């Protein structure tokens, strides 16, 4: 999908700085930052009880284990039980 947006100059500078530091294309860098923002947004939505961890994983196209790692990265405690977590991993491995 292609969307045209006007990016503020301060954000462009951040993108350029990261792209240069990590030897990446600016478009790739912008996509990475967009994904980081989406992760953080969905982690906050989970924390506020708006979405489930399963919905978060679905929207990010990741497994429950990876969704749980994202929550840990943002210091958000998952309410998923250990049993449900292990079952989810087993189901994902069976696919």
> Could you report the per-residue pLDDT of 34-55, keeping only the tens digit for each?
999 999 999 999 999 999 999 9
Average pLDDT rounded to a whole number, residues 17-31: 97
Of 22, 27, 25, residue with least CA distance to 2: 27
Instruction: Tokens 């069976």: give the residue.
Output: 94
**Around Cβ 79, how many Cβ atoms within 10 Å?**
12
- List the chain domain ranges: 11-94
Q: Is the pLDDT of residue 82 over 80?
A: no
Res 21: pLDDT: 98
Res 81: pLDDT: 62
Average pLDDT rounded to a whole number, residues 13-36: 97
Counting Cα atoms < 13 Å in the Cβ hemisphere of 31 gives: 8
Structural tokens at position 6: 């006007």
């Amino acid at each position: 999908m292609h969307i045209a947006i006007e990016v503020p100059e301060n954000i462009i500078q951040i993108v350029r700085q990261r792209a240069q530091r990590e030897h990446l294309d600016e478009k790739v860098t912008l996509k990475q930052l967009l994904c980081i923002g989406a992760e953080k947004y969905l982690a906050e939505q989970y924390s506020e009880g708006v979405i489930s961890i399963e919905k978060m994983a679905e929207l990010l196209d990741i497994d429950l284990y990876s969704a749980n790692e994202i929550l840990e990265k943002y210091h958000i405690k998952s309410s998923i039980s250990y049993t449900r977590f292990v079952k989810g991993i087993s189901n994902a491995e069976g696919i």
